[in-house]
Structure 1
Amino acid sequence: MDWMVAASSVAAVFMGIGALVVRMKAAKKPASAKKIIMPPLFMSTGALMFLFPMFRVTGMEFLEATAVGLVFSILLIKTSDFEIRGNDIFLKRSKAFPIILLTLLIVRIVGKLVLSTSIDVGELGGMFFILAFAMILPWRIAMFKKYNRLKRKMPAQSGIMTEKTAF
Structure 2
Amino acid sequence: MLYVASSVFAVLMGIGVIVIRMKASKKPTSVKKIILPPVFMSTGALMFIIPEFRVSLMELLEAMIVGMLFSILLIKTSNFEIRDQQIYLKRSKAFPIILISLLIIRIIGKGILSSSIDVGELSGMFFILAFSMIVPWRIAMYIKYQKLSRELGK
The CA deviation string for residues 70-120 of structure 1, in whole angstroms up to 9 with x for no partner, is 000000001100000012100000010000000000000000000000001
Distance 2:114 2:153 in 1: 53
SS for the counterpart of 1:65 is helix
Name segments (4+ residues, structure 1) moved above 2 Å.
none
SS of structure 2 residue aligned to 1:28 = coil
Q: What is the total number of aligned residue pairs between the two structures?
A: 154
Structure 1 residue aligned with 2:123, among 113, 122, 125? 125
* SS in structure 2 at match of 1:117: coil
Deviations 1:4-39 (A, max 9, x none): 111111110000000110111111100000000000
Write the distance in 2 (CA, Å) between the matches of 1:27 and 1:55.
36
CA distance in 2, matches of 1:68, 1:62: 10
Q: Does 1:5 align with 2:3?
A: yes
Unaligned runs of 5+ in 1: 157-167
- Write out aligned runs for 1:1-167 (5 A): 3-155=1-153
TM-score, normalisation: structure 1: 0.91
Q: Which letter maps to 1:26? A: A
Alpha-carbon distance between aligned partners in 1 of 2:3 and 2:51, rounded to the nearest angstrom: 18
Tell me how large the CA RMSD over aligned residues is: 0.7
What is the TM-score normalised by the length of structure 2? 0.98
The CA distance in 1 between the partners of 2:53 and 2:73, in whole Å, is 27
Larger radius of gyration: 1
SS of the aligned residue for 2:73 comes to helix
Q: Which runs of 5+ in 2 are unaligned?
A: none
Look up the equivalent residue of 1:33 and give its one-letter code: V
- Residue 136 of structure 2 aligns with an amino acid whose one-letter code is P
